[in-house]
Chain A
Amino acid sequence: MEYVKVKEVIRFTFEHGIFYYGISIMGTYLMLIIFSIIEIIKYQRKNSFISYESLLTSQHTPGISVIAPAYNEGEIIRNGVHTLLSLNYPKFEVIIVNDGSTDDSLQQLIDEYELVEVNFAYHEEIVTQPVKKIYKSTNPVYAKLMVIDKENGKSKADASNAGINAASYPLFLCTDVDCILHKDTLLKMVKPFVEEKTKVIATGAVIRISNSCEVENGFLKKVRAPKQFLPLFQELEYIRAFLMGRMAWSRINGLMLVSGGLGLFDKDIVLKAGGYSHESFGEDLELVTRMRIYMEDNKQKYKVKYIPESMCWTEVPSTLSVYSRQRTRWAKGLAQTLWFHKKVFLNPKYKVFGLVSFPYWVFFEWLAPILEFGGIIYYIYIIITGQITWSYAIALLIFIYSFSVMITIISVLWDEITGMKYQKKSEVLKLCAAAVIEPLVYHPLVLFFSIRGNWFFLTGQKLHWGIMTRSGFKKKNNKLSDYEQRKL
């Protein structure tokens, strides 16, 4: 009798707990939508009369070092560097970090850009693998270019840190050579740094998927919705995350993640925070977390901002094997970062960051897949034991399904309002159709790899990387490097 009572109590607690947890997630998402809408409207109003010409011609515009690590990027490196060199900005340098490539990437750069070794005094403010040589171009046309040749550090973090050590300017943009950047990326991303009266330590912008886009010589010719299923679902995920999530967090200055593919940072604060972590599997999330901790610990006012404009196009995994590795790493990186910086959790000293953003990441980013997985197991258990009330179960499933589709469709609408990137209605229709089937087809994958990543974290299992092929706008058989997959 006692046993039955205890069982009932557990069941009641679990079912109600999950329900209210679900309601609180949904409530949070609704809040994020509202904040995001407010922030985007504010941004659009502020930019409705802005001309970037003053910034472009001013001698007081802050200089930016564009840092792009490269490992075995022989297929695209020349075009990639051309794209970076043609950015529209008055004061910038491009630092390519050849992270011990085993292909001819470096030789191609030397030949294409007339590079010679220079006596650059490389100062290792952040410890990295040894730098072998530093090159500059003898051709004044490429005076902005610097190439660092270093030993492979088995992480993008190590290569980026080498770039930061050599950077001359007070701000640096972290990106990848295979990323296609909008020509005004620097102008638009630097604006929060010059516009805000409070110190801005980092800005991010919307990253889009280039898998089916038309690309010519490293420049984007036509934006197209991904044709394959996996990239299409990821496009939805990106729109949701960037336009809804990050803009909302930017509004309340609670942003904890600026993507590794495109982020503009204050170099001084990054150096004081210790640069990218070599050990983290989510080095971008970890860096911003550490920068925020540094600012809060030193009682300095700061902001992390996001702009709702698509500035970067990158290729995402189109095969399940690459995707699985990426997502497992992300999940492991998230668990790692949250665990490593657990002192921030609900700590009033860290204000919005400690009381809102960090707990959000713990409860709704890290814990959600684990609880969801527990819920599925519980469902299976009550089905097998015949305890399920089908009408309730179906009502709850429809409730969760309809809500998630609603959030995604609102994100698509917001993408349309902010940019209307797709020319054809059929492409938007495709996105909407994908939003309808996403919870049934794609979400289980996200859940599975998230659980896997957490399992790897708990058991301390290492992640191994094999050689993979990428499709899309590049030539066939282009291998993804170790950290390229992490970036994706």
Chain B
Amino acid sequence: MQNYCDLSGKLCLIFSKVSYRDYPLLIQIAILVSILALCVITFTLSFIFYNRTKKQRYKRKADEAESLILDELNEHLLVYDSITDMPQDELNSTVRKLNELKNKNAIFKEVLVKLLIYYKHNLTGNISRLITSAYFSLRLNEITLSKLKSSFWFIKAQGLKELQAIHDYDSTESIQLLLKNKNIDVRVEAYATLLKLQTHLSLNFLKNEKEDLSNWHQILLFDAITKSEYTEIPDFSYFLASQNKTIVILSIKLLLHYKQFKAIPELIKLLAHRDEKIRNETIYTLGALNAEDAEQKLISIYPTERNLNKSQILLALGAIASGNALNFLRDKFLQADHYTILKSATAAIMSHPVALKEKILESLNDIDEEQRAIIKHFEDPLIKLHGIR
């Protein structure tokens, strides 16, 4: 204890006697950084708890707003089957009350937009139209449209998502302005929004888009096009000549979705495309479209392709299953130098009608254990081989 007191006494003496400037530069830096670190720690700790308190307060207010708005919606609006069933006085009074709630503060406004979009998204028919009507009566569309003018790209994208959800058909002019936005995410959201709001399908953007679309963008656009209720579907083979490879791939996917068999000759031409991914997508699509006309071309390009596309060709021939390519498949099965080829050739043979399949299997007398095992694999009803593609 005595020693400890001596030591701490000495330390106090040391620190009190020497001023900051007397320390070597390295120690001066260390002291300075320590002070800065302590300031950052204090500030960060304060911010953590301030942020928590702020978020909790926000959550409490948002919960309160949600409960009040939900009561109003459930008791006065969503009890009616359609807007025509709702007495005008009742409609006016409900809108007035919701308007009062909306004008209380920004949280109420935000919650109201969120709830109406949620209901619109999850309900259909007359109730859905009732919600749209309330949305416009409360002029919430103005909030959404103001987001499109934001300088932040992600706010613009949020606005576009809201327009998609609420089906604001009058907003197409504002959306058009975003079709040339420099941010690809905003552009794709704008395309998707227009696709969902247009009454007839216009795919001009497919011609004009120069930047590559990611798979995510393709999924969004595919979803927007295929879930819209158009009366007329364009011929997607028109876009197969696009210079943008990703647009070509998207068009092939759409072509398959709408079963545009008349595009098969164009697809066969695409088998000579220099991009491997496009060829792969084309081979798959020809198989899925049962394009018997493409069989010979598929067989002819087989030797020049790499394993991934070779495997896809075998699977496509299996999907077409005309029986014309059975000898080719049998040869590939027997000569396979890679497991993927063996697997795909077997899958292709096994997907043929029973009579044709049996004939080939009977001719396979001298096969090794691996080949026998893969045949058994495909004969097992519990194994569904997914994922070659």
Contact = CB atoms under 8 A, between A and B. Distances in A.
Nearest to B385: A168
A195 interface: yes
A197 B212 contact: yes
Contacts of B154: 45-46, 48-49
Interface in A31-89: 45-46, 48-49, 51, 54-55, 57-58, 60-61, 63, 65
B99 interface: no
A196 B23 contact: no
A376 interface: no
Nearest to A193: B215
A398 interface: yes
B157 A63 contact: no
Interface in B13-33: 14-15, 18, 23-24, 26-27, 29-31, 33
SS of A interface (majority): helix
A184 to B, nearest CB: 16
Given A19-B26, A49-B189, A169 B386 contact: yes
B37 A118 contact: no
A57 B30 CA distance: 57
Interface residues of A, number: 62
A19 B29 CA distance: 11
Contacts of B214: 194-197
B308 to A, nearest CB: 9
A300 interface: no
A138 B382 CA distance: 7
Contacts of B51: 413, 416-417
A118 to B, nearest CB: 5
A167 B14 CA distance: 68
Nearest to B32: A399
A431 to B, nearest CB: 9
A467 interface: no
A58 B222 contact: yes
Given A119-B376, A168-B387, A191-B216, A395 B27 contact: yes
A255 B28 CA distance: 35
B230 interface: no
A16 interface: yes
Interface string B359-379: 000000000001001101101
B36 to A, nearest CB: 8
B48 A428 contact: yes
B310 to A, nearest CB: 15
A208 B55 CA distance: 22
Contact of A413 (B44, B219, B222): B44
A127 interface: no
Given A60-B222, A194-B215, A395-B27, A136 B383 contact: yes
A390 B383 contact: no
Given A54-B220, A417-B51, A169 B387 contact: yes
Contact of B386 (A46, A54, A168, A432): A168
B260 interface: no
A377 interface: no
Contacts of A51: 161
B64 to A, nearest CB: 19
B357 to A, nearest CB: 17
B173 to A, nearest CB: 21
A417 B50 CA distance: 12
Contacts of B31: 395, 398-399
A116 interface: yes
A465 interface: no
B261 interface: no
Contacts of A409: 40-41, 44-45, 48
A488 to B, nearest CB: 28
B373 A119 contact: yes
A425 B52 CA distance: 8
Interface in A231-285: none
A54 B188 CA distance: 14
B380 interface: yes
B40 A406 contact: yes
A3 interface: no
Contacts of B238: none
A440 interface: no
Interface of A: 16, 19, 23, 26, 45-46, 48-49, 51, 54-55, 57-58, 60-61, 63, 65, 91, 93, 116, 118-121, 123, 125, 136-138, 143, 167-170, 191, 193-197, 390-392, 394-396, 398-399, 402-403, 405-406, 409-410, 412-413, 416-417, 420, 425, 428, 432
14 contacts: A54-B223, A57-B223, A58-B219, A60-B222, A60-B253, A118-B382, A119-B380, A143-B384, A168-B387, A399-B33, A405-B37, A406-B38, A410-B44, A432-B48
Given A121-B376, A413-B48, 18 more contacts: A23-B29, A46-B154, A49-B189, A91-B386, A120-B380, A123-B339, A136-B383, A167-B387, A170-B387, A193-B215, A197-B212, A396-B30, A398-B34, A402-B34, A409-B40, A409-B48, A413-B51, A420-B55
